[in-house]
Structure 1
Amino acid sequence: MKNKIYLATALLCAAISVHAQTINTVKQITAKPQLYTKTEFDIALTADWQNPYLQEDVALDMVLHTPSGKKLVLPCYYESGDSGKQSLWKARFAPQEKGKYTYTFEFSKAEHVASRSKEGSFIVGQSGKSGFLHLKNNWEFRFDNGKAFRGIGENIGWESRKSDDSKFFSELHQKPKYDYEYMLPALAKHGGNFFRTWICQFNLPLDWHRDFNSNRYEPSDAYYNPSAIKKIDRMFNLCDSLGLYVMLTLGTGNYNIHDGGFSPSAADFFVNPKSKQRYKNRLRYFVARWGYSTSVGAWEFFNEVDNVQFGNRNKPISADSIVNWHDEMSTYIKSIDPYNHLTTTSISHRDLKGLNSLPHMDFNQKHIYKNTTAIPQAIIDYEKNFNKPYVIGEYSYEWDWSKNFDDFAGEMDSDYKRGLWYGLFNPTPILPMSWWWEYFDNRKTDEYLKKIRQISDRMLAAANGSFEKIPVTPSAEGIITYGVKCGGKTFVYAYNPSSTEKKTSLAFDLKGKPVSAEIFDCESGETKRTTAPNDIVLLAKSDVILIVNGK
């Protein structure tokens, strides 16, 4: 009798377990799916789990077949509900093809498919959007629809903190107005289309539970912080509405043991299998929840990973372990991201052998401070050595926040402008991005982006994908010049850094007879015709751009 009771109990448990892993209903929320636009689904399912955010425990995928016959697998994410009861999961998908899609949902338990939905379908119509950003060449990215793109903007590293440690500008940095709702519309208004922002303990703290140094987030014991999720959702909604693209710096997440992670140190984080699996689950969540957004300009794994490496100067982390980690994570995110978003990471100034050559890192980047004149050559050298685009993710006249920038405000402003022009006239798909966003907003320096955008748009339109650097030789000593041939137009940048006016002739090869020419004043933004494009007058500390139309 006892054996029969045990057997009946075992069969009942097995039946409950089988019943518990069931996709109950699938509801398409978006009535009329459109190209490159979020199409959302609600999936109700019943399942047992320890943690619905860990794919080794449970996972839901949307398996799609596109109109052209491609198979896509889209990670989905858990929204709400309890283990053993009906729960809500979501799929956010942005189609890249017009026409009819078919799909099923697959729910996995312990990495084995436990339930499949019935096949469904939807039809995608046209939209006015351009799609996702992809590699084109060292000069530009391209959207899905073929439209060219060059990133113009700045770092907006974080929203204002509750307490800032800047010696002279803490009051400025703590102003509540410096949130995304203010900064992103201002960036778009000034002509910017790209920015870089961090996920960390005090900004978009997805993995942190408390101690945010910010009044924007609520303490929570949830695996991912609900108030941070809400803020990231709002940020992407803003980006989508404003036509902005973000390099999202993902960082380590909350990896440390005392914060609920698995690693006692950064060195262990890069090699501990449990920490790496935790990070992969984090990447999966990013792709599932926000990968639909065409505003994801790039996933950036680390800010200045060389500084993480040398966090303990007496015992630096092995470069091999950091490079191997980036190789593993970039390979992984490419395998689960159906949109093939761009991937990157950044260094401060110390290269890690092998990092610039990883096959699934789409472009490389470093940060340059106190040496903006070095930007053009750095871009050219790195691209030559590693055969992929190079980006200057941060630059400024000064990095030391213990100094009073107002003592050299003119130099700060001038350096801000030079970095942008140097980037525009050299082969980088994202122009160098300044730091100190609150300072430049307060001085209205960032309104200068309008001038850059005006010329960038003209270069992209003229080039039609064909950029060629040309040498420009000034007759006057000390004049800084760069030239780019864009299709049938030649653009020449000339800057006089001296304190005296200079007349100069500019020798450059048009590769054709000049038909017409314009001169653009970089400071005023005014353009006027000229009949002598090779002869110009540069006022002290001024710059101009020649635009010459040739046959």
Structure 2
Amino acid sequence: MSKKFYLICSVMLAATSLWAQSIQSFKQLTANPKLYSKTEFDIRLTADWQNPYLQEDIALDMVMIAPSGKRIILPCYYEEGESGKPSLWKARFAPQEKGKYEYAFELSKSGSVVARSKTATFVAAVSDRNGFLHPKNNWELQFDNGKPFRGIGENIGWESRKSDDSRFFSELHQKPKYDYEYMLPALAKHGGNFFRTWVCQFNLPVDWHRNFNSTRYEESEAYYNPSAIRKTDRMFNLCDSLGLYVMLTLGPGNYNPRDGGFSPSAADFFVNPKSKARYKNRLRYFVARWGYSASLGAWEFFNEVDNVQFGNKNRPIQADSIVAWHDEMSRYLKDIDPYNHLITTSISHRDLKGMDGLPHMDFNQKHIYKNTASIPANIIRYERDFKKPYVIGEYSYEWDWSKNFDDFAAEMDSDYKRGLWYGLFSPTPILPMSWWWEYFDNRKTDEYLKRVRAISDKMLADGKGSFEAVDVKTSDADVITYGVNCNGKIFVYAYNPTSTAKTINLSFKGATGPVTQFDCESGTSRLANSTKVNLQPKSDAILITVSL
């Protein structure tokens, strides 16, 4: 074979290979794009791949120039089709700027761009939506349009399971009614605007194939489980329609070799390059498929990662490797998420040195059980030490599911209420979120959220972004008090933890003008002539007064 003929064959082969990796067409499905709302695109292409979910194999990106001139790269996701044949891919985008966008699609193989579509445009119009949540200060978050926000809600960790291991409440926890279609509308009806839920083997099991402990999912050998994807789509659609914001606890995913992963243990998961690459592809899919939703309040990497660390008490995982993993993944997620969603992770009770100072984690988080009274002090201490917001992602009077909560139901209810008020009067952007959602729903305790939401909305409206803790003095040392100055209006919380009725005097700087007294239990308000408060046993009240 002559060198000339060999060269011609090589050029022809290369040209054929490039032609095989091509974008045939794309279509904008949303006729009238609007700010902060989903705009969808179908992209049809032909390409060769081993696995269309692995970006090191193949990746499609939507490359945009926003009206401001900002360059945006949006990951797209594979929908259907075979390697080497026409396939369908999708893009979901929520504009954050009004005006004209210019865009094209770029196809990459092994990290190099091999095809680019023609350029097109769309125009995003204004909408009545607030946008995405972003940090503002330790007290509150802020939407794209500048409106302030504080999260009020609870954990809705998962939909009911087929089999629950609670000793006394398994029948309650297994009730089919406890699905998102029931729980999310109920949360919104009760005044909640925020909740936390898990991605795991029995709930939204996107990367599990079987053994779900749930009747809601179908076995599948697909890389990402289609039934779990559909359920996650439905959950976000519900959130968008109800005005709810979710902290999505991603967990480690399915990393075991028997299910297609690369790590035989959690310790290996945090350091194995193949497991880390697999997790980054998982993050890319989540951003591509659900990142468009402004209802995605925060990505949470782990639930109680310190419990993962000490899963083997005799051989705990090195904290350094866990912290380094979070640093790497938070940097990567910030890089690929064009909406800059909030990022966090959580601990149970053991700090990991270096975790709270990671630069790309937007707020720190821990869980507190059997010590709700410590919530304000914990929030203040961690914020002081690490200069970023702190959130109590779980709390309750009791964590042990082998106990009969009905034996101390009044204490469970009271603790539920106290955690919310302690959070409202503490510098945290998301109020503490109770656990045991089925139990509190069954007792109708969660309807109490309306009381807290009413005062929170008033604080936000009056404060206009101004929150400052106020020192409150009381004539009775047993009474617990907290105060906040919201742009000249003082809000004071008082709780009587004793079994004796009390009449107390409250004093605080700037206490002039008319006073409104709010009864926390009934939700009623009345005008008062002074800052003297009558408190029944185990009861609380709020004073609202104009000052300065």
Matched with 1:165 is 165
2:275 aligned residue? 275
Which letter does structure 1 place at the counterpart of 2:386? F
SS of the equivalent of 2:513 reads strand
How far has the Cα of 1:258 moved from its partner? 1.7
| Residue 544 in structure 1 maps to residue 541 in structure 2 | yes
Counterpart-to-counterpart distance in 2, 1:537 and 1:323: 49
1:418-441 Cα offsets, whole Å, 9 max, x none, are 000000000000000000000000
- Residue identity matched to 2:281: N
Counterpart residue type for residue 433 of structure 1: M
Deviation for aligned residue 1:16: 3.5
Query: How many angstroms apart in 1 are the aligned matches of 2:292 and 2:94?
Result: 5
From 528, 531, 537, give the equivalent of 1:530: 528
Match of 1:124 in 2: 124
Residue 143 of structure 1 corresponds to: 143
Deviation track 1:277-309 (CA, whole Å, cap 9, x = no partner) reads 000000000100000000000000000000000
Q: CA deviation at 1:12?
A: 6.1
Deviation digits for residues 187-217 of structure 1 (CA, Å, limit 9, x no counterpart): 0000000000000000000010000000000
1:14 Cα shift?
A: 3.7
Matched, 1:25 2:22: no
Structure 1 counterpart SS, 2:433: coil
Q: How do residues 343-492 of structure 1 correspond to structure 2 at under 5 angstroms?
A: 343-492=343-492
Unmatched tracts of structure 1, length 5 or more: none
Q: Return the alpha-carbon distance in structure 2 between the equivalents of residues 345 and 290 of structure 1.
A: 19
Q: 1:504 corresponds to which residue?
A: 504
Is 1:246 the counterpart of 2:249? The answer is: no
What is the aligned residue count? Answer: 548
Distance 2:372 2:20 in 1: 60
Q: Does 1:295 align with 2:295?
A: yes
Q: Which residue of 1 aligns with 2:519?
A: 521
Output the amino acid matched with 2:348: S
Q: CA shift at 1:18, angstroms?
A: 1.6
Give the distance between the partners of 1:375 and 1:425, measured in 2 at CA: 11
Distance 1:463 1:285 in 2: 39
SS of equivalent residue, structure 2 residue 534: strand
Q: Secondary structure at the match of 2:206?
A: coil
Instruction: Give the drift of 1:15.
Output: 4.1
- Paired letter, 2:146: G
1:26 CA drift (Å): 1.1
Deviation sequence 1:459-483 (CA, Å, 0-9, x none): 0011111100011111013000000
CA distance in 1, matches of 2:456, 2:147: 14
Give the ranges of 4+ consecutive aligned residues of structure 1 lying more than 4 Å apart after TM superposition: 1-13
How far apart in 2 are the matches of 1:170 and 1:9? 69
User: What is the Cα deviation at residue 550 of structure 1?
Assistant: 2.1
Once the two structures are TM-superposed, the CA of residue 8 in structure 1 deviates from its matched residue by: 8.5
Q: Distance in 2 between matches of 1:51 and 1:12?
A: 26
> Amino acid of the residue matched to residue 527 of structure 1?
S
Match of 2:211 in 1: 211
Q: Tell me, in whole angstroms, the C-alpha distance in 2 between the residues paired with 1:207 and 1:506.
A: 55
Secondary structure of the 1:41 match is strand
- Structure 1 residue 134 displacement after superposition: 0.1
TM-score normalised by the chain length of structure 1: 0.98
* Aligned match of 1:228: 228
What CA distance in whole angstroms lies between the structure 2 residues aligned with 1:58 and 1:390? 39
| Greater mean alpha carbon deviation, residues 12-21 or residues 295-304 | 12-21
2:64 paired with 1:64: yes
Residues in 1 aligned to 2:73 and 2:54: alpha-carbon distance in whole angstroms: 17
Looking at structure 2, the residues matched to 211 and 20 of structure 1 have their Cα atoms a distance apart, in angstroms, of 39
Inter-partner Cα distance in structure 2 for 1:123 and 1:11: 41
One-letter identity of the residue aligned with 2:534: V
Q: Which amino acid aligns with 2:525?
A: T
Q: Over residues 95-137 of structure 1, what are the superposed CA-to-partner deviations in whole Å (9 max), with x where a residue is unaligned?
A: 0000111011100011000000111101110100000000000
Q: Please, which runs of 5 or more residues in structure 2 have no aligned partner?
A: none
Deviations 1:1-54 (A, max 9, x none): 899999887666544422211011010000010011111110000000000000
Q: Secondary structure at the match of 1:514?
A: coil
Matched position secondary structure for 2:450: helix
Q: Does 1:328 align with 2:328?
A: yes
Provide the secondary structure at the position in 2 that maps to 1:172.
Answer: helix
Moved more, 534-543 or 205-214: 534-543
Equivalent-residue separation in structure 2 for 1:14 and 1:179 (angstroms): 53
Please list the CA deviations of residues 399-431 of structure 1 after superposition, one character each: whole Å capped at 9, or x if unmatched: 000000000000000000000000000000000
Question: Which position in structure 2 is the counterpart of 1:191?
Answer: 191
